[in-house]
């Protein structure tokens, strides 16, 4: 479970949506190894990686960018 730190306390954040993917055979183990290297769990590591990839495409969910464009960021003028 992810936590945010405020001046008063650590408040847990719950994510209500689920995402299921078909992946190559060794991907779950690779994600587990990568998560262990940064001392987190595979679900949190995967969330962070996906959010960074979306941000690189110009989609920032923290800002509420939910209107998606068909034009990739690198092609947008």
Query: Number of folded domains in the chain?
Result: 1
Instruction: Give the Cα separation of 15 and 38 in Å (integer).
Output: 21
Written as tens digits, the pLDDT of the chain (77 aa) is 444 444 445 566 778 889 999 999 999 999 999 999 999 999 999 999 999 999 898 888 776 666 555 555 566 55
Residue 32, domain member (yes or no): yes
Q: Does the predicted TM-score (pTM) go above 0.85?
A: no
Q: Which domain holds residue 54?
A: 20-66
The DSSP-derived string for 6-71 is -SS-EEEE-----------TTHHHHHHHHHHHTTS-HHHHHHHHHHHHHHHTT--GGGT-----SS
Residue 43, domain member (yes or no): yes
pLDDT the model gives residue 5: 46
């Amino acid at each position: 479970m992810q936590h945010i730190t405020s001046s008063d306390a650590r408040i847990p954040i719950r994510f209500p949506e689920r995402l299921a993917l078909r992946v190559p055979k060794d991907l779950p183990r690779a994600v587990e190894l990568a998560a262990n290297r940064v001392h987190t769990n595979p679900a949190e590591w995967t969330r962070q990686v996906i959010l960074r990839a979306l941000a690189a495409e110009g989609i920032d969910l923290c800002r509420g960018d939910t209107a998606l464009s068909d034009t990739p960021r690198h092609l947008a003028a």
